[in-house]
Amino acid sequence: MAPIKIERIVSVSSEDEAHPATNLMKNEYSNKKWKCKTPGEKQISAVFQLAECCKISKIDIGNEHSAFVEILVGKSCTPDVDYKVLLVTSSLMSLQEAKNGTNINSVSFFKRENFCKPLCDEKWDRIKIVCTQPFNKHAQYGLSFIVFHSETSVDKNTPQLGFQLKATNSVEPLLRAGGLFANRNRFSNNSPIATGAAAIREASTSGTLKVDFKGKLPHRNNDSAKSPKTSSVNEDT
């Protein structure tokens, strides 16, 4: 699942100067938090513009003292249409944890089965986050991070890399399956082995030189070397 890039912040209801909502645009699991401006605010919200319209398959949320979170979706092409609930109000910490200020940075993972249908099957490019903390009036709350994921798919119209073997009948006989066995008689001892001038003459005419595959060298007659040819010269007297 590929992370979805947040392009910009469309609007934010409340943010601390040291912890603005733009910290959540980093799309990473960091300690850059978004907090409300004043402790005890009833509700805070922020609207994000995504880089592209896509299906949301998973949301990772790092809490910052918020008791509940709700995720709504919309489209930039219809800004006047009300946002629709993708993830219903979900608990990020218990009542006791909120009052005692413990486990304030828990991490929650929400998947497709947690989202409302059929909204999870549609594409959206705007997301509204709503956080609330009704149990502690002294805490500045918000989120420490949020990451949206989308399932990546391969376009069927995209050309795929690959290759295909071309069928042909012009393959050399010895390169075909069983070719060496079928042509074994060509290299058997029954075939005469050409030597000397005969081999050169045969190679020049047929383009093939028969070879003894048993490693035997053709017999060479060395009688001429032992008995050098003599010639007589008639001297004129």
Task: Name the least confident of 13-22, 64-73, 131-140, 167-176.
Answer: 167-176
Which pLDDT value is given to residue 179? 54
Q: Which is higher by pLDDT, 31 or 144?
A: 144
Q: Which residues contact 120 (CB under 8 A, 6 or more apart)?
A: 55, 56, 57, 86, 112
The CATH number given to 2-142 is 2.60.120.260
Cα 12-132-41 angle, rounded to 5 deg: 70
Q: Does residue 230 carry a pLDDT above 50?
A: no
Mind giving me the DSSP string for 3-53? EPPEEEEEEES---SSS-GGGGGG-SSSS--EE-SSTT-SEEEEEEEEEEE
Give pLDDT, residue 80. 75
Q: How much is the pLDDT for 26?
A: 77
Strands 142-150 and 34-35: antiparallel
Out of 27-31, 122-126, 177-181, the most confident range is 122-126
Mean pLDDT of 141-152: 90
Percent of the chain predicted with pLDDT > 70? 61
The whole-number pLDDT of residue 171 equals 44
Q: Is the model's pTM score more than 0.75?
A: no
Statement: residue 87 has pLDDT above 60: yes
